[in-house]
Amino acid sequence: MTTQKIDGASVTTQANVYFDGKCVSHGLTLADGTKLSVGVILPATLTFNTGAPEIMECVGGFCEYKLDGSTEWVKSSAGEKFNVPGNSKFEIRVTEPYHYICHFG
Amino acid sequence: MTTQKIDGASVTTQANVYFDGKCVSHGLTLADGTKLSVGVILPATLTFNTGAPEIMECVGGFCEYKLDGSTEWVKSSAGEKFNVPGNSKFEIRVTEPYHYICHFG
């Protein structure tokens, strides 16, 4: 099931702009202190580095991703998630806008 | 004063992507039903049409805008707002990411 709304969020009004705008996100903090972000990646192939572990939840469109150390591109579509270890990286290949929620920790 | 956070928001997780990603926003609904959006415009000169009247509040960077029927470009920086009438349009000229809150009605 696709998460269409996140309720009770405190929204950081200034966006995070990565890769000249190929990735744009807004940070959210929930009442219990949980931090996450909602964002979109536009058509591109990008490499992201992680600090904390991340769970990437697709809420629209799709992507293909390749985790560090893997040679396999895996598709992730709306309603699906994938996990990225901390202190790692992943490649992501997008051909139509990929809308996501990034959960940390 | 610049609005850095918006509390108690219900966030639509799928972004609005306009002009091939030169403008990306996320819709918010507050507890009292107020609708607004947080977004960013990347370097470009764009024309937006309004349905409802809009108040554009800058929360980072700056833009220059020109209202319909005006010949004057006016600068709007962080902490400043400008009003756009309903059923109208405006041009916006951005040279560094312009972060905004769009208030409707």
| CATH architecture for residues B32-104 | Sandwich (2.60)
Query: pLDDT confidence of B39, banded at 50, 70, 90?
Result: very high
Instruction: Check CB contact under 8 Å for A14 and B59.
Output: yes
Q: Which of B6, B15, B22 sits opposite A40 (nearest CB)?
A: B15
How far is residue A94 from each of residues A1, A71, A74, measured CA to CA in Å?
21, 17, 12
- Cβ burial of A71 (10 Å; 0-12, 13-18, 19+) is exposed
Q: What is the pLDDT of residues B44-74, one digit of tens each?
A: 999 999 999 999 999 999 999 999 999 999 9
Confidence of residue A14 (pLDDT cuts 50, 70, 90): very high
- Write the ipTM: 0.95
Are B17 and A97 within 8 A, CB to CB? yes
Look up the CATH architecture of domain A11-104. Answer: Sandwich (2.60)
Residue B1: band (very low, low, confident or very high) from pLDDT cuts 50, 70, 90: confident
Distance from CA of B65 to the nearest CA of A (A): 19
- B101/A contact by beta carbon, under 8 A: yes
